[in-house]
Every structure is written in C-alpha cells, then in structure tokens.
Chains A and B, each alone.
Chain A
Amino acid sequence: MTDFLRMGGDGAYVWSAYGVTLAVLVFNVWWARRRHRAALERARASALDERVGRRPTVRQIE
C-alpha cells in the first residue's frame, strides 16, 4: 500500500495531478448545479414579481 502511494518516489506528482483533475471535475458538477438552481430561483422570483405587479397599487386607483 505504501509502495502504491509512493509511486516509485514520484507520488507527490502523480497524486497531485490526479487530485487536481478530480477537483476540476467536482467543481464543474457543483458549479452547473448551483447555476441551474440559481436560474430557477430567479425565474420563480420574476414570475412572482409579475403576479404582484398586476395588482393595482393605491396610486393607480387614485
């Protein structure tokens, strides 16, 4: 097991390369999910705004 982690003395390079790659993939998945959720939230807010906006305000009635 230790031999496997050492990678013939180049473990630091091999594992950081794999680590960086994994981090990039995880970040991309997380980022897409976050953006999708935020976009849905904004769409919901904007739909709500419009519904509220349709109600006459006091000024419009006057």
Chain B
Amino acid sequence: MRLPRWFHLLGSPPFVYRLAGKVAPWLGVVTCVLLAVGGYWGLVVAPPDRVQGEVYRVLFIHPQIAYVSVMAYVVMAIAAGIGFVWRIKLAHGVAATAAPIGASFTACALATGALWGRPTWGTYWQWTDPRIMSETLLLFLFLGYLALRAAFEDRDKADRVSAILAVVGVVDVPIIHYSVIWWNSLHQGPSIMKLDKPSISPEMLTPFLIMVAAFTACFCWLLLNGLRGEIVERERDTRWIRELVAGTRG
C-alpha cells in the first residue's frame, strides 16, 4: 500500500517546522478570542449557581484544564509509541514537547481543583479521593518522563527509554476517567459526556463548551510553538538549519 505524500511530509522536520510556524499564530489568535469570549461569558453573563453560588465559575476552567492534561498525556504516549516502533525522531520530539505542557496543565488542574474544593467541599485536598490521586499520579508520570529524559546524555537513548515509560503510563488515563464511577469520590459523576442529555443548563453549558474549545486550541498552539524549538535543537547540525540561521542572522 502506498502512503499519500503528505503522510511522508509529516515526518520531515523542515516541513513540519514551517507548517507549525504558519499555523501556530492563527491558533494563538483563536485561543485568545475563545478564552476572552468564554471567560466573559462564564464570569459575567452566566447566572450564579443555585447551590454553589458564584464559586462554581471555577468549573468553567478546571475540568477543561484537567481534560487537556489527560489529552496531553495521550498525545505524548501515542507520539512516543510511534517514535519507538517506527523510529521516527520527530515523533519523539512531539512527545518531549507535550510533556512539560502536560505537566504544567496537570499541576494547574490540581491547583484550581483545590481552590474550588476549599469553599465547596470544605477541603483543599483529599488523600483518599480517587480522581485527585489518579491526577496526581499523572503529574508524577509527566515529571518522571522528563526526569528520565534528562538522565541520558544521548538523545536517542533518552527517546527510547522515556517512550517505554510514556506508553506504560497510559494505564492511568482510563483510571482517571472511570475513577468517579469505580470508586466513591468527592468528584461528581459524568454530567456532560454521557449518552443521556447533559445535566447542565444551556446558559452554563455554552460557556463551558467554549472553554473546552479554547483550552484545546491552546494546547495545540503551545504544542506547535514548543515543537519549533525542539526541531531546531534536534536538527542543529543539518544543512537546512544552517541555511535557516544564516538567513535570519540576528
């Protein structure tokens, strides 16, 4: 079976570097617009919650950030797996770029969750909550991946060894997702991702979904931005990078 040409191009660092350079600014604009609209809608337009009052407005960002943290891990694991199996260096580059972004989002999800939990559940942190714990494990998987990479001088070796950790760690993803169903958790069960109608009113659902789009765009933007630096670093001694830096003497 012959693969289409664009598929091969996606493995070519100069092509992806240029493509990312073209797409990233647009994603940046989309992110900022969606964050502004969703933020205004969530903080100003949406009515206070009948039970929680105003503090529920944290829920226009916290679940989104948590979802992006999991998505970042899945992207990292798939990219690392592709890099490992087909020995595509660019795929390892994607994984290495996704890791610090994912780690920061995971930490942010835990922080915003704590800030919401204090006034709502009466506690910042609950050691026995399965979702908090599986999300904390995700943070350590990201940090472990980054530490493992840093431990190797040789980049190829770092790529291959860290890829194994990334792929094995994927078991945490379904655990995070199903933790609220399998175990008794302070977190609520699914209220949007379910077969039935979402159990949330439309005037709150709209800004919620806008923020989902905003944070998804944000992750793609950050990933492409980071990937450009990663590609330059990995390709430092190739001819096209030489030509690139010769053209942009600064």
Interface of A toward B, CB cutoff 8 Å: 4, 7-11, 13-14, 16-18, 20-21, 24-25, 27-29, 31-33, 35-40, 42-44, 46-47
Contact = CB atoms under 8 A, between A and B. Distances in A.
10 contacts: A8-B53, A11-B54, A13-B58, A13-B116, A24-B108, A32-B222, A33-B225, A35-B233, A40-B244, A40-B248
B108 A7 contact: no
Interface string B48-63: 1000011101100110
A43 B232 contact: yes
Q: Chain A interface secondary structure, helix, strand, loop or mixed?
A: helix
A27 B107 CA distance: 13
Interface of B: 28, 39, 43-44, 48, 53-55, 57-58, 61-62, 65, 100-101, 104-105, 107-108, 111-112, 115-116, 118-119, 218, 222, 225-226, 228-230, 232-233, 236-237, 241-242, 244-246, 248-249
A20 B53 contact: no
Given A25-B218, A42-B233, A10 B55 contact: yes
B54 A17 contact: no
A34 B2 CA distance: 40
Contacts of B48: 8
A14 B245 contact: no
B120 to A, nearest CB: 9
A10 B119 contact: yes
Contacts of B241: 43, 47
B182 to A, nearest CB: 27
A21 B229 contact: no
B100 A36 contact: no
B100 A31 contact: yes
A16 B222 CA distance: 22
A20 B57 CA distance: 14
Contacts of A9: 53-54
Nearest to A46: B236
A14 B225 contact: no
Given A17-B112, A35-B226, 15 more contacts: A7-B54, A8-B48, A8-B53, A8-B54, A10-B53, A11-B54, A14-B55, A18-B43, A20-B112, A28-B104, A38-B229, A40-B248, A42-B236, A43-B242, A43-B244
Contacts of A38: 229
Nearest to A35: B229
B28 to A, nearest CB: 8
B130 to A, nearest CB: 22
Q: Give 9 nearest A-B pairs by CB, closest first.
A: A36-B229, A35-B229, A8-B54, A32-B225, A39-B232, A10-B55, A7-B54, A39-B233, A17-B112
